[in-house]
Each structure stands twice: as structure tokens, then as C-alpha cells.
Amino acid sequence: MLESRELTKKYGSKTAVSGISLKLEAGHICAMLGPNGSGKTTWMKMAAGLVKPTSGEILFEGAPVSIESRRHIAYMSTEPYFYTWMSAKDVGKYYEDFFEDFSVERYRNLLARMELTEDLKVKALSSGMAAKLKIAATLARDAKVWMLDEPFNGIDLLARDQIRECIVERAGEDRLLLLSSHLVEEMETLVDRAVYIREGVLIESVDLEQLRTERGLSMADLYRQIYTGKEVIA
Amino acid sequence: MIRLMKYELRKSWYLKAILLLVTAVAEAVFLIGLWGGKDSLTATGVLLLTILATTGTMVIGLGTVFVLHRDINTKQSCMLFMTPHSSYEILGAKLLENAISILLIGAFFFGLGALDITLLFAKEQALDRLWQIMSEMLRTINENLTIDAPHLAAFLWMLIADWLTTVVTACLADVLSASLLAGKRFSGLISVLFFLALNVALNWLIRLIMNQIPTDFVTSCVVGGCLSIVLGAAMYVVTAVLMERKLSV
Amino acid sequence: MQFDPMIPIWLQVMEDLEVGIITGKHPPGSKLPGGRETAVQYGINPNTAARVYQELEKLGLSETRRGLGSFVTEDGALIARVREQLAGKAVDRCMRDLARLGVERSAAIQMLLEREEKN
């Protein structure tokens, strides 16, 4: 559903993403893993059309990412991005205005589950509440691809469980969910594929159940192995 | 498109509200002076209103450019650029909202000015005298200048066309800087430099073309205005293309 | 439920369901929660949940009825066999642990009987 071919992004002399060729099929929840600055966000932003590649291609359903693909791809960036003059209600209105797949009802439902109210001002939100609002707005869409960049950042344990539940609810055979997070161990049961990136390069792409069956490793074990170079004893 | 414009207005209404507020204060000063017989206050009011009228539209234009800059360079960029709209629509909405605002505010000040002048000279009952004085003033500048509808209209047309084009130029400069520098340190400064360079080039081009045409005041204003608009439209397209192909937010 | 991240998740969830069937939490013939419900309940991927149901069906412990969902088998003998299997695995685990501690087989069996008596 989402495919990149030799995708590269350079900022001057710095290379953020280097020739990543990756194919992500529908029906999966996929984790994008790697340390800060490894290129995960840049890859996602290129898929969302926010960043233009230096070379290579990024395709959605076989066609290059375009205005049309933005209708079906929901990207949630790490940082807060709502206009500061907005209230939670305004955010809902904005999404409703621009995205056909957005459901105000689902949004309100998600807000309630995250213990947020519509009259809250974006300006007045704590970082945890701002993070929850982003998720509520993004998951209230009925996209074909959701890319959540660090959805668990700054969120307390109970809300994280709630968010995991919401993510599972949105998953489906015809959808793709891509999550990038540092909380590798918390995602173990949630995701079924993992993509490991380091310094802009794709290191490995695995099916997690296969990883467990064939190599006896967990997603976190493989992460440690890849990024420290040390063999993990299974 | 209308939705995009709606949000553009929301983003800049603060600025417009302040403008209207200050205008209300200036108008109040003028009115108090007029009815209280305090000439100093009346004069201050008139002065303030004139300044506001001339700078007001400029401020709105600048506002559009600042909002664009923020929309491109801050984290809020996600909001605008993740929507399924092309850069043509996004930029077009901004420029349209800007144009409409300028026209409305311009009309507002025009109306206010007419009202105030009428009030002023209705009180003094010397409306004719004002007209005479102003016409004489202009005649001393240029034999052919008179205040009549065509002259005024042509002059206003050129002013507005020029200003709208300036706004597009500033937008182009900002997008150019953001596209090439990707938010590096001096991108703000660089965009100002680009802007100045573009302005110089634009003026040179217009002058070149205008020199080919024998003119009188009205024609030169009208043609000059049209030329501005055409060049402005060209720059709009260039800016939109840059946003679509090269800009990473 | 606490998962061991090094063992396939579907295996662990399936075992949990098996235990549920054996202990009567999911009585024979009863309807099992839907795939999505299971996914949400365990906090797992719907794909994984689907796999669990596939495997349960392969074993014969459940059967899918079109449009109605998955139902626990009524085959009492099968359920008894599975109970035997899981119980056997538990015993093996226990014996392995004791062996690792150096406890001899006969001594291990003795310990089991003694502790059982005490309780």
C-alpha cells in the first residue's frame, strides 16, 4: 500500500534518508524503529507529502504521493501542530472541513475516552493533553493509512493503554497503521511488523511472529542487537 | 477554496481587529474635536485617520506574508499542507483573502473619509471651497491633473494593483528562501533580500515597458496597473509551482 | 495478560483461550468473542487475533459458523485430550525446573506427593 523505492532526502550536506526501499502492505500494524534522527520522521513526512524527496520515489497504492493521496493518508507529527487560537471543537471543525473521512461523532467519542472536553483551548493544554488531542483528531479519520509519529510521547500509562485500544480498533485488513515510538517493549503485542532504521538506512524489515518463531527474539531484542551490534542470547 | 479562505481570515483577524480598533479611536478623537470645537483634536484625528488609511492596507498585506511565513516555517505547517489541496489553491486562497480584505478595508476608509469630509465641511459649509483648494494644489503640481472620477479611479487602480503585486512578490521571496534554505538560520533575512531584488527587477521591467507607451496620467495608471497584475499573476504561478515541487515543510 | 515477547503472541493468546475452554470459562458450544473484540481485549493486532482463531479451528477446538462467529466445540473428548496435553506440558515444565536445580526424578516425585499431602 505504501512503498518507497530508493528514497533519499538530503538537507545540504546532511543525509536524512538514504536510499530506503520499503514495501508496507495493508492489513498490518507496523512499527518504525530507530534512534532519534535516524530518518523515521523524514520518511513519514515524505509519505505524507510534507517533505519532497531529493531522489527516489514514494508511492501510495502504486501511484506517486500526491494531493489525492492526502485524502487517504493521516499523518500525526511528533510535535503539537494545531493553531494556537483553536479550541478542541475548532480542531474538530477544521478536520471536518478538510477531510471527508473525518467523523465528528468518533472524534467526540475519542475525546471523551481521553478525558478531554471540546471547550479546551489548545493554548492551555499540558503536553500530555496536547498529545492526546492530536491522537483523537487523527484517529477520528477513517484513513487508509495512519502514520503516527511517537504517539505515546508524554502520555501517562492509562492513557497509553487507552490509545493502544483505539489503535487496535482502527486496524483492519484494508488499512495500514505505521507507528514510530521509543517505547519498543510496549508495542510488542500491538504490532505485527517492524522496520529498523539507522542513520537514514533501512537495516531490517521483519514479521514479528516469524522473528519469535524462527529466531526466538522479541522486537526489543532485535532492536538491541541491531543498535549495539551485540548478539542477544535467546 | 472558500474553506481555505475562511481559515486564512481566522488567522489574520487579530490584525484586522486591531486596525479597526485604532481607527475607531482616531475617529472618536476626530469627532470629539469637531463637536467640541477643539481644532487641535480634529486635526489630530484627521492626521491619524490619513495615516491609518495609507498604512492600513499595507499592514494587511504584510499580515498575509507573515502568516504565510509562519505556515511554512513553524510546526503548524502540518495543518495546512496535509490537507488535500494543491499549492495553487492554498496560495490562491491566501492571496484572494488578502485582496478582498484590502478592497474592503480600502472601501471602508474611503467611505469613512468621505463621511468625515462631509461632516467637516457641512459644519463649516465650505465643501466647495475644499474642492477648489485641492484642485488648485494639484494644478500647481501638474497642469493636467484634476480631481475627477477617471483620475481618481485610475490612480486607485494602480495603487491597489501595485500593492497586490507587492504582496505576491513578498510571498514568492519567502517561499524561495524556504525552498532553498530549508529553514536554516538566516532564511528570514534572505527572504527580505530576495524580496528587494525581485522588486527592483519588477520595477525595472515595468519601467522598460511603460517607456514604450506615450501616456497621460490616466492611461499610464491603468496600463501600469494591468501590467502589475499580469506580472503578479506570473509570480503567483511560480510561487505555487515552487511550493508544490520544491518546498518541504 | 502478561506476554512473553520472545514467544509468538498468537501462541500465548491461543493457550489462554484453550485454558478458558478447558476450565469452562468458554463452555462447549458457546460463542467465542469476535476477532476484533479479542484483539482489543488482549491489546493485540487484529491479524494476530485472526491467526489465533484459525489455529483453534485447525485443532478442532472451535468452528466458525458463517455470519455468526466462532463457537467452542461440543467434542468433550477433544477438550479432555487438550486438557491432558496442557497438563502434561505443565508437569514437564515442573520436572525440567527441578532437574535444573539438580533434584533427581524420584526425589522430585516424592516432593510433589509430600507437598500435596500438606495442602
Tell me: pLDDT of B122 over 80: no
Longest dimension (CA), chain B: 62
Which segments of C3-104 does DSSP mark as H helices, in order? Answer: 9-22, 35-42, 46-59, 76-100
Contact A185 C43 (CB under 8 A): no
Q: DSSP code of A145?
A: E
Nearest partner of A194 among B82, C9, C40, C41, judged by Cα: C9
Instruction: Give the least confident one: A21-30, A39-48, B120-129.
Output: B120-129
b/e code A118-139 from CB counts within 10 Å (16+ = b): eebebeebeeebbbbbbbbbbb
Residues 6 or more apart from A63 whose CB is under 8 A from it?
Answer: A69
What pLDDT was estimated at residue C119? 73
Size of interface A-C (CB pairs under 8 A): 63
B8/chain A closest Cα distance in angstroms: 12
Check CB contact of A67 with chain B, cutoff 8 Å: yes
What pLDDT was estimated at residue A232? 65
Check CB contact of C5 with chain A, cutoff 8 Å: yes
b/e code C64-103 from CB counts within 10 Å (16+ = b): eeeeeebbbbeeeeebeebeeeeeeeeeeeeeeebeeeee
Please say whether the beta carbons of C70 and C64 come within 8 A. Answer: yes
Check CB contact of A37 with chain C, cutoff 8 Å: no
pTM greater than 0.90:
no
Q: What is the CATH number of the domain that holds A114?
A: 3.40.50.300
Please say whether the beta carbons of A72 and A144 come within 8 A. Answer: yes
Contact C45 A168 (CB under 8 A): yes
Q: What's the rounded mean pLDDT across residues A111-131?
A: 91
Cell match 505555487: residue?
B240
pLDDT tens column, C59-84? 888 888 888 888 888 888 888 888 99
Residues of C in contact with A172 (CB under 8 A): 46
pLDDT confidence tier of residue B127, bands split at 50, 70 and 90: low
Please say whether the beta carbons of B182 and A11 come within 8 A. Answer: yes
Nearest CA in chain B to A98: B83
Say which of A27, A189, A212 has its CB closest to residue C44.
Answer: A189
pLDDT confidence tier of residue B91, bands split at 50, 70 and 90: very high
What pLDDT was estimated at residue C28? 87
Residue A12 in domain = yes
Rounded Cα distance between A54 and A10, Å, is: 6
Residues of B with CB under 8 A from a CB of A: 3, 6-7, 10-11, 14, 75-79, 81-86, 182, 184, 245-249
> Checking DSSP bridges between strand A28-33 and strand A176-180, what pairing results, if any?
parallel
Check CB contact of A205 with chain B, cutoff 8 Å: no
Across all residues in chain B, what is the average pLDDT? 83
pLDDT tens for chain C, residues 1 to 119: 788 888 899 999 999 999 998 888 888 888 889 888 899 888 898 988 999 999 998 988 888 888 888 888 888 888 888 899 989 998 888 888 888 988 888 888 888 888 888 87
Contact C5 A168 (CB under 8 A): no
Say which of A45, A52, A85 has its CB closest to residue B245.
Answer: A52
Nearest partner of C70 among C57, C80, C89, judged by Cα: C57
Question: What are the φ/ψ torsions at residue A149 (nearest 5 degrees)?
Answer: -95, 110
Tell me: pLDDT of A234 over 70: no
pLDDT tens column, A26-53? 999 999 999 988 999 999 999 999 999 9
Proportion of chain B above pLDDT 70, given as a percent = 85
3-state secondary structure of B5: helix
Q: Where are the domains of chain B?
A: 1-125, 144-249
CA dihedral C53, C56, C57, C58 (to 10 degrees): 120
Check CB contact of C39 with chain A, cutoff 8 Å: yes
Rounded Cα distance between C28 and C43, Å, is: 25
Check CB contact of A221 with chain C, cutoff 8 Å: yes
Contact A216 C3 (CB under 8 A): no
Tell me: pLDDT of A233 over 70: no
Say which of A164, A172, A234 has its CB closest to residue C46.
Answer: A172
Q: Which one has a higher pLDDT value, B219 or B234?
A: B234
Check CB contact of A207 with chain C, cutoff 8 Å: no
Cα B166 to chain centroid distance, Å, stands at 8
pLDDT tens column, A50-99? 999 999 999 999 999 999 999 999 999 999 999 999 999 999 999 999 99
Domain that includes residue A68, residue range: 2-228
Number of folded domains in chain A?
1
In order of B169, B177, B200, the CA distances from B193 in angstroms are: 12, 9, 11
Handedness of CA A167, A170, A172, A176 (dihedral sign): negative
Tell me: pLDDT of B140 over 70: no
Q: Which one has a higher pLDDT value, B185 or B241?
A: B241
ipTM over 0.85: yes
Tell me: pLDDT of A201 over 60: yes
- Strand-pairing partners, residue A141, are A102
Instruction: Give the least confident one: B24-28, B54-58, B191-195.
Output: B54-58
Which C residues, 61 through 90, put their C-beta within 8 Å of a C-beta on chain A?
none
